[in-house]
């Protein structure tokens, strides 16, 4: 029988577990499925000494199983890959521990499943390497090395900075000016010289096949996209949202979600990377 303490413990841990699974899988829907499976196993467990550690270990094992089965699909992905946008209500205090910015998520994508597991369990849940070794069927020394390699990759991703709402509005104003007057200078001035635009269409909708690089090329792409939307004769609705921990926008066309849009900044405050998710399968959970 499920007792009240179990329910309260799981409810308290669920936001962290969702983020943990999401960092493995890059999918909101899959993360929710994994956490639900972890709940079922938690209710069947006996004499659990540390429920947070127990739940995080279960989530890790379930995610590793999914990653192994999904590896082929990821290799066959059409164009640049981005995770499903997570429009989340989690508090800012959780951001530092479970950073889900697109820059970090793309860094995590370069890690092996075992590297992610060792890093997450040790750095996020303070699990000793002796216990991690049992979960991964490796030696503690091997797990320590796995975590170190992962930590270095993620630190590289964290060199990018999330904008605030004011910075987002500055971009929107410059974008609007470029659309209405054909003056691109204000928009161009906001971009880093080596700015990038990553658009994920998954081969299902129109999106750039490769990452677009360089401030001039990115400016042209953004203005061209804006004019195409404006000339589509569809009702356009831009809705602000917190996307992967930072300010972003949801683009609605005739009431249908067409794209999530966000960006990050370099150390000077210039826009470094735009992230556009258009793959309809990755937007279903937001409809």
Domains of the chain, each with CATH number or no CATH = 4-157 (1.20.140), 165-286 (3.10.450.50)
Q: How far apart are CA 273 and CA 144, in angstroms?
A: 32
Cα end-to-end span (Å), the chain? 36
CB count in 10 Å sphere of residue 237: 15
Section 217-238 average pLDDT: 89
Measured in residues, the chain has a length of 287
Contact predicate 159/264, CB 8 Å: no
Section 267-277 average pLDDT: 95
Instruction: For residue 123, name the pLDDT band (cuts at 50, 70, 90).
Output: confident
Section 204-211 average pLDDT: 89
Q: Which distant-in-sequence residues (6+ apart) come within 8 Å of 167 by Cβ?
A: 247, 265, 269
Q: How far apart are CA 200 and CA 280, in angstroms?
A: 10
Contact predicate 268/176, CB 8 Å: no
* Higher pLDDT pick, 213 / 162: 213
Q: What is the pLDDT of residues 91-113, one digit of tens each?
A: 444 445 567 889 988 888 888 88
Residue 41 has what pLDDT? Answer: 93
3-state SS, one letter per residue, for 265-283: ECCCCCEEEEEEECCHHHC
Q: What is the mean pLDDT of the chain?
A: 88
């Amino acid at each position: 029988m499920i007792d009240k303490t179990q329910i309260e413990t799981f409810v308290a841990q669920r936001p962290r577990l969702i983020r943990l699974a999401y960092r493995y899988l890059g999918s909101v829907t899959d993360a929710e499925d994994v956490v639900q499976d972890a709940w079922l196993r938690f209710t069947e467990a006996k004499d659990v000494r540390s429920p947070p550690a127990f739940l995080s270990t279960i989530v890790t094992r379930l995610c590793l199983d999914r990653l192994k089965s999904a590896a082929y699909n990821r290799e066959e992905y059409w164009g640049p890959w981005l995770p499903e946008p997570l429009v989340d209500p989690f508090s800012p205090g959780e951001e530092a521990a479970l950073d889900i910015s697109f820059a970090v998520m793309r860094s995590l994508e370069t890690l092996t499943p075992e590297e992610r597991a060792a890093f997450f369990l040790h750095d996020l849940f303070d699990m000793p390497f002796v216990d991690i070794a049992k979960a991964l069927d490796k030696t503690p020394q091997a797990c320590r090395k796995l975590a170190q390699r992962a930590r270095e990759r993620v630190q590289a991703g964290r060199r990018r900075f999330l904008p605030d709402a004011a910075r987002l509005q500055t971009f929107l104003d410059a974008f609007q000016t470029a659309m209405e007057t054909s003056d691109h200078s204000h928009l161009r001035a906001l971009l880093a010289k080596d700015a990038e635009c990553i658009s994920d269409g998954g081969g299902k909708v129109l999106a750039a096949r490769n990452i677009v690089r360089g401030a001039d090329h990115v400016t042209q792409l953004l203005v061209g996209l804006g004019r195409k939307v404006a000339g589509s004769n569809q009702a356009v609705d831009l809705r602000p949202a917190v996307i992967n921990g930072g300010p972003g926008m949801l683009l609605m066309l005739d009431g249908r979600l067409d794209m999530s849009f966000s960006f990050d900044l370099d150390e000077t405050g210039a826009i470094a990377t735009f992230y556009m998710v258009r793959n309809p399968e990755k937007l279903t959970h937001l409809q």
